[in-house]
Structure 1
Amino acid sequence: MAPTDTSTTRLDRGWRQLLGPDHLGPMVVLAGGVALYAINIYLTTSLLPSAVDEIGGARFYAWATTIFLVASVISAVLVSRLLAVAGPRGAYLAAIGLFAAGTVVCAAAPDMFVLLAGRGLQGFGGGLLSGLGYALIRSTLSQHLWARASALVSGMWGVGTFVGPALGGVFAQFGAWRLAFIVLALLAAGIAAIVPRYITGERIDGPRVGVPAVSMLLLSAAALLVSVAGIASNVALTALGVVAGVALLVAFVVHERRAVTRVLPAVTFTPGNTLKWTYATFALLAVASTAETFVPLFGQRLGGLEPLAAGFLGAALAVGWTLGEISSAGASRRSTVRALVVAGPALVTIGFLVAAATQREGATAWVIGVWVAALVLGGAGIGMAWPHLSTFAMGAEHDEVEGGKAAAAINTVQLVSNAVGSASAGVLVNLGGTMADSARLLFGFFAAFAAAGVLTAWRSTRPRP
């Protein structure tokens, strides 16, 4: 799989081709599904306080996120199986139907228990939507468009970062949190209406395999442990939960190496194959990206920013991610792609080290400006590597079934890594003596994760046997 040389004109034509009449419809569906999933995450965070005020259940507040995440991880594992049984069109309609149904349940919830059930349905459907976003890129588009399509689909997380909190904040302001979920359900219905026109109904032929029950159990248990650890008030319990979750992930990898029915494609564990390094790089970058969780808090406590301004500071990493993806996705020369993939984690490391070095109490405007630049740089590093890593994963296996599994696993790796990263961030912040110490500790440790990503990224670019 060697990318070919092209001119700048050809690169521009690639974006025009992706967004042209032949591919615009499918891309609206795939990107729209991921956008719904991302917007829902940030929107719900803004709406939950208002919902709890009305229906009660404050002690179960954090479980609304935990249940959503665990359901997403479980369903993400089932993407390739659903494609084999229902075909692309049936799979996508099932995914968006589950998401819409869960959203309607949330809108109508009379109490917290019903809301949690709705969040579980949302998470299950959302995990499928996000996984299908990658799996169907591989089966729907020509290989030379994979990087651009991956950039567009994953760029929807940036859209969610902005639209979700803004939309949720507006509805919460007017006490109309239920209406926000109704609007989200209507958007899901709108996307579902165009699925039959743009997504094929042809099933992928291949051997039918069973559900990887043991792997699913290990992954979901790991996600549950680190999610619960992230909401624990005791730092020791939080750290213990993270360690136990990581241990379960190690057990998952050990099991996958020996299992017949797997989540990851078999080629992942073939000696000399680089796919495992690609997934490792995804994991390290996804962990690093969760640093944004505490950026608004740092902006308020250290920089004296108002909540709205602090929220936009927290979105700086997502802005950089989107800019990095759009600017790098058109690269196709092998040497350029290798340089971008390796340079990505390096830029994250530099950006986070700068952020760590400049965290201080009473930060002035120019210091805050440095934070913005450092976060944008870190986000750009993730973005410039991500679409090409996606292409590596999608092209790792020529078999349609195994190739679809490799593509869908991108989302699984991202979801689990985000959970580990968020819980780890909570541990690091709690370990700091002051808020400035917490910020320096967080960015410093996550810079180390990104630095490890430089090595795994380099290994992922080595020629395959």
Structure 2
Amino acid sequence: MSTTDQQPAYGIRSLFHRKWLGATLLLGAGVGLEALEFYVTASLMPSMVRDIGGLGLLAWTTSLFVAALVLGGVAIVIRPAGVTLRQVYVIGTLIFALGCLIVGLAPSMVVVLIGRFVQGFGAGLLVTLAYSFIRFVYPEGMQNAASAFYSALWGVSTLLGPTLGGWFAHDSAWRWAFFILIPLAVLMALLAPYFLPPGEDEREKQALPGIQILLILAGILTMSYAGNVEGTVMRIALVMGGIASLVALVLCERRSESRLLPRLATVFTHPLAQAYLAMFLLIIGLNSDIYIPYFLQTMHATPPLVAGYIVALVATGWAVAGMWTASWQGERARRAILFGPIVLFASMTCLAFAISRDNPHADIGILTAVCILLFGMGVGIGLGWAHLVSMVMTLSEGPEADKATAAINLVPSLAAAFGSAIAGVIANSAGLVTPGGIEGGMTAAFWLYALTSISGVLALLTVVPLLRRKTS
């Protein structure tokens, strides 16, 4: 990182200089649309099921969205030769708008699933493009600020999602939560030629990496579905199937001439592979937060809306830490990367004791401790995330830059699917369903966070050798 040590320090404010303001707003809007739609849809699903049915298909609304999200990121790598990033941005906004229209008009849950897949594909294009455009829009050294800004948008969306969902939750008003985004997406498509650079195609010509794409989709769908089945044996089988898909993906990437990832991304002694692995491990630990609302409502007498806002503290901590460290460079940046996993591990370990209690009177002291620890989990991710993203971009310039930025979206999505499935296996095996209730919830909560906190230790063991190497 010796080269970045000499670069000027750019903070979040730099992104809003009039020279880059238009591009910043358009790229940020792409990330914001995906994040907001994810949380709004999650909060609206009960209303949608009451209106059009399809409870048995509910789990697939998220699984298909995540799979399409990853596929959208991959599409940037395999797009036709000569197609610029700006053209892809326009296509992505229009595809997202089409997905919103399909969901808004859906007469059944099957049509909703089609719309969610279309939405996810468009969103995957837009989120990946936010990172792909950084090297074309901003001067060198602004990767940290841009990545921190995108993380902050996720935090804001986490807070706004339940509120907006509540506005449209009555009768069939949920459809308007999708309709209102269509004109915004179309406006983004119209403004793109004026505020975004072309983003010329710099890739080397290669054949379609079809096997890797199938392995990614198989892994995502298998792991996502594992988090939604009841039987522990079936969960474990699906998790093992997902792991097998991931191992096969790595082996295929190493041997194939047509790759989705940068050439060195699967060489685990190289800093690029270590940076991706650290990101993967951090997100795996973070996804244990999917059970927080249930634990809060069951054991801590917390109303559903309040529980939703409490779990949003994880994203808030990520956003705050990201903005705080965005302008750090050199030794300070390395320390941020190093201390992130430590904070994550400490927060999750303490949370295992704090949340696994029978608190029927919603004791404010216990809930305050839970809130602080959830915020700490987010801080653990946010401290070094932008710097890891910046490192990935620095290590993969030229023809492989598109692959590197696509993987910034791919790696967390894979980790989210794995993390959710692993959390489901641990929670169910520890008593969440049997014996269930307060007793089962307490046992499940303790072992869930005690065991998933290990991901923080593994991430620390990954970043230590990474930071010892020069990445200039």
What TM-score comes out, normalization by structure 1 length? Answer: 0.95
Q: Answer yes or no: is 1:126 the counterpart of 2:132.
A: no
User: Cα gap change, 1:83/1:200 in structure 2, threshold over 3 Å: closer, same or farther?
Assistant: farther
CA shift in 2, pair 1:154/1:15, >3 Å: closer
SS of 2:2 mapped into structure 1: coil
Q: Which residue, 246, 252, 256 being the options, matches 1:255?
A: 252
Instruction: Tell me the residue number matched to 1:449.
Output: 455
Structure 2 distance, partners of 1:233, 1:225, is 14
Structure 1 residue 403: deviation in Å? 1.6
**Counterpart-to-counterpart distance in 2, 1:202 and 1:435:** 51
Q: Within the alignment, does 1:325 sit opposite 2:331 as a pair?
A: no
- Residue of structure 2 in register with 1:379 after alignment: 378
Counterpart residue type for residue 255 of structure 1: C
Deviations 1:215-269 (A, max 9, x none): 1011100001111111112122112111210111011111111111111111324
Closer/same/farther in 2, CA of residues 272 and 448 from structure 1, 3 Å limit: closer
Q: Counterpart of 1:207 in 2: which secondary structure?
A: coil
- Change in Cα spacing, 1:385 to 1:450, as seen in structure 2 (3 Å) is same
SS at match of 1:200: coil
How far did residue 213 of structure 1 move?
0.6
Task: Give the 3-state SS of the residue equivalent to 2:18 in structure 1.
Answer: coil
2:344 to 342, 348, 356: 348
Q: Is the 8 A contact 1:137 1:150 kept in 2?
A: no
- Specify whether residues 29 and 179 from structure 1 end up closer, same or farther in structure 2 by C-alpha distance, changes over 3 A only: same
TM-score by length of 2: 0.93
Q: Provide closer, same or farther for how the CA distance between residues 85 and 423 of structure 1 changes in structure 2, counting only shifts above 3 A.
A: farther
Cα distance per residue 1:152-184 (max 9 Å; x no partner): 113222122112221112101364011111012
Instruction: Say which is worse superposed, 147-156 or 411-420, in terms of deviation.
Output: 147-156
The 2-side partners of 1:440 and 1:83 are apart by 50
* Aligned amino acid, residue 439 of structure 1: A
Once the two structures are superposed, residues 40-76 of structure 1 have per-residue CA deviations (whole angstroms, 9 ceiling, x without a partner) of 1111111222222222222212211111111122222
Partner of 1:414: 412
> Corresponding residue for 2:470?
463
Determine helix, strand or coil for the equivalent of 2:169: helix
Q: Cα distance 1:206–1:120, how it changes in 2: closer, same or farther (>3 A)?
A: closer
SS in 1 for 2:396: coil
Check 1:251–1:206 CA distance in 2 against 1; reply closer, same or farther (3 A cut): closer
Counterpart residue type for residue 343 of structure 1: F
Give the alignment partner of residue 55 of structure 1, picking from 31, 52, 57: 52
| Structure 1, gaps ≥5 residues long | none
Matched, 1:70 2:78: no
Q: Which amino acid aligns with 2:99?
A: G
Partner of 1:165: 162
Q: Take 2:165 and 2:305, find their aligned partners in 1: how far apart are those partners?
A: 13
Partner in structure 1 of residue 331 of structure 2: 335
**Correspondence 1:93 to 2:99:** no
SS in 2 for 1:264: coil
Match of 1:29 among 5, 26, 31: 26
1:391 correspondence with 2:390: yes
- Cα RMSD after superposing both structures: 1.8
Cα displacement (A) at 1:342 = 1.0
**Kindly tell me: are residues 435 and 408 of structure 1, through their superposed partners in 2, closer, same or farther at Cα, counting changes over 3 Å?**
same
Q: Check the 8 A contact 2:81/2:201 in 1, yes or no.
A: yes
Confirm or deny: 8 A CA contact 1:76 1:411 kept in the other structure: yes
**CA deviation vs aligned residue, 1:391-436 (integer Å, no higher than 9, x gap):** 010011231x202211221100011111111111111211223101
Q: How many angstroms does 1:4 deviate by?
A: 4.9
**For residue 80 of structure 1, what is the aligned residue in structure 2?**
77
Q: Cα distance, 1:324 vs. partner?
A: 0.6
One-letter code of the match for 1:30? L
% identical equivalent positions: 33
SS in 2 for 1:263: coil
Hey, what does 1:360 align to over in structure 2?
357
Quote the Cα distance in structure 1 between the aligned partners of 2:401 and 2:198: 18
**Cα separation, 2, equivalents of 1:4 and 1:413:** 24
Question: In the aligned structure 1, how far is the partner of 2:205 from the partner of 2:351?
Answer: 49
Matches of 1:200 and 1:6 in 2, distance apart? 27
TM superposition shift of 1:206: 3.8
- Supply the distance in 1 between the matched residues of 2:39 and 2:81 (Cα, whole angstroms): 32
Q: 1:272 deviation in Å?
A: 4.7
Other structure's SS at 1:172 match: coil
- How many residues are matched? 460
1:283 corresponds to 2:275:
no
- Counterpart Cα distance in 1 of 2:443 and 2:171: 38
2:186 is matched by which residue type in structure 1?
A
5 Å matches for 1:415-430?
Answer: 415-430=413-428
* Residue of structure 2 equivalent to 1:2: 2
Is residue 36–residue 157 contact of structure 2 (8 Å, CA) maintained in 1? yes
Letter in 2 for 1:374: L
Report the Cα distance in structure 2 between the residues aligned to 1:382 and 1:14, rounded to whole angstroms. 19
TM alignment of 1:236-255, pairs within 5 A: 236-255=233-252
1:181 to 178, 182, 191: 178
Whole-angstrom distance in 2 between the partners of 1:272 and 1:45? 39
Report what 2:308 is aligned to.
Answer: 311
Alignment of 1:398-409 (within 5 A): 398-399=397-398, 401-409=399-407
Conserved 8 A contact 2:152-2:316 = no
How far residue 85 of structure 1 moved from its aligned partner, in angstroms, is 3.8
Q: Are the equivalent residues in 2 in contact too, given 1:238–1:427 (CA < 8 A)?
A: yes
Partners of 1:269 and 1:228 lie apart in 2 by 26
Say yes or no: does 1:135 pair with 2:132.
Answer: yes
2:349 and 2:199 map into 1 onto residues whose CA distance is 49
Pairwise CA distance, 1:108:
0.7
